[in-house]
Amino acid sequence: MAEPIISVDHVSFSYDEGGPMAVRDVSLTVERGSFHAILGQNGSGKSTLAKLINGLYLPTEGHVTVCGMDTQDDEKTWEIRRRAGMVFQNPDNQLVATVVREDVAFGLENIGVPTEEMPARIDKALKDVGMLKFADRAPHLLSGGQKQRVAIAGVLAMAPEAIIFDESTAMLDPQGRREVMQAVKRLNQEQGITVLWITHFMEEAVECDFAHVMYQGQIVLDGTPREIFSDVERIRPYRLDAPPMARLAEQLRAQGMPLKDGILTVEEMAEEVARLCK
């Protein structure tokens, strides 16, 4: 089997020596090209885990490897952050320049990309997220979804193999959330970029190949979204909502509509309702 792109091996982490563990004995592997979600209520350890993966924090116990490099190896820190880029919640905190193009250039300057190579890399990254036509605009005049796509372009320009999104749609309106999700799905499907998608929106979780549920610093469930959400009772202790369509299906069944099991998406609901109405 090929080496996984991200491997977290029995990792624990505490913010204060001797203090409580924010992440407890977590193990997970992410294969190249896959799209994983990390779910869990506030304070369950998702952001801490994300920062452990990208080398912003080092494990108190255990090991994290990214593309075969251990995050504890000081010499690899920058290479790890370039190969596994991160996009955060608030796009305003990630955009630094006064022109979109310069914002995307910022990271490239930091890693020493030759000046003559920059325009092509910047244009490609902006094009990949559908923002090329805004290259000469001021970032602060863009919508939330557009700003977040510029932030993604900034990471993309560094040619990462994986991108970790830490609740990157949490501050966006529904339109912005859809824009960002669609752009990220395209990067995954067309360019094979590995995605780790942290979210508390269950309608986003159903779009992933594989999901991990965190609760009190631990991973308590792993599986496909279908496996995880097939039994609402099983996720209830971890304070996760079922995806909106699964909840609607449950309510309709309670009203006597004989809907099949396992409805997670709008498309599946539409199909099933159409079938019953025939």
Question: Which residues of this chain interact with ligand ADP, rule CB under 6 A?
Answer: 15, 22, 40, 42-48
Nearer to ligand ADP (CB atom), residue 134 or residue 215: 215
Neighbour count for residue 173 (Cβ, 10 Å): 12
Nearest residue to Mg ion on Cβ basis: 47
Please choose which of ligand ADP, Mg ion, none residue 199 contacts, taking the beta carbon within 5 to 8 angstroms, the exact cut-off set by kind. none
Nearer to Mg ion (CB atom), residue 46 or residue 212: 46
Neighbour count for residue 100 (Cβ, 10 Å): 28
List b or e across 257-270, with b for residues whose CB sees 16 or more CB atoms inside 10 angstroms.
eebeeebbbeebbe
Please provide the DSSP assignment of 173-203 as one string. Answer: -HHHHHHHHHHHHHHHHHH--EEEEE-S-HH
Span of 4-12, 40-48, 78-86, 139-147 interacting with Mg ion by CB under 5 A: 40-48
Half-sphere exposure of 12 (CA within 13 A, CB side): 12
Q: Does residue 47 interact with Mg ion by CB under 5 A?
A: yes
Site string for Mg ion, 242-271 (x = CB under 5 A): ------------------------------
Q: CA-to-CA distance for 38 and 11, rounded, in angstroms?
A: 16
* Whether the Cβ atoms of residue 122 and residue 156 lie closer than 8 Å to each other: no
Q: Does residue 54 interact with Mg ion by CB under 5 A?
A: no
Nearest to 143 by CA among 185, 102, 174: 174
What the block records as the tokens of 275 is: 């079938």
Nearer to Mg ion (CB atom), residue 22 or residue 183: 22
Report, in Å, the least distance between residue 221 CB and ligand ADP: 15
Nearer to ligand ADP (CB atom), residue 24 or residue 149: 24
Nearer to ligand ADP (CB atom), residue 125 or residue 208: 208
Report, in Å, the least distance between residue 213 CB and Mg ion: 14
Report, in Å, the least distance between residue 42 CB and ligand ADP: 5
Nearer to ligand ADP (CB atom), residue 46 or residue 101: 46
Please choose which of ligand ADP, Mg ion, none residue 43 contacts, taking the beta carbon within 5 to 8 angstroms, the exact cut-off set by kind. ligand ADP
* Whether the Cβ atoms of residue 66 and residue 83 lie closer than 8 Å to each other: yes
Report, in Å, the least distance between residue 161 CB and ligand ADP: 23
Strand 61-66 and strand 69-70: the pairing is antiparallel
Report, in Å, the least distance between residue 44 CB and ligand ADP: 4
Q: CA-to-CA distance for 86 and 152, rounded, in angstroms?
A: 8
Q: Does residue 148 interact with Mg ion by CB under 5 A?
A: no
Where does this chain bind Mg ion (CB under 5 A)?
A: 46-47
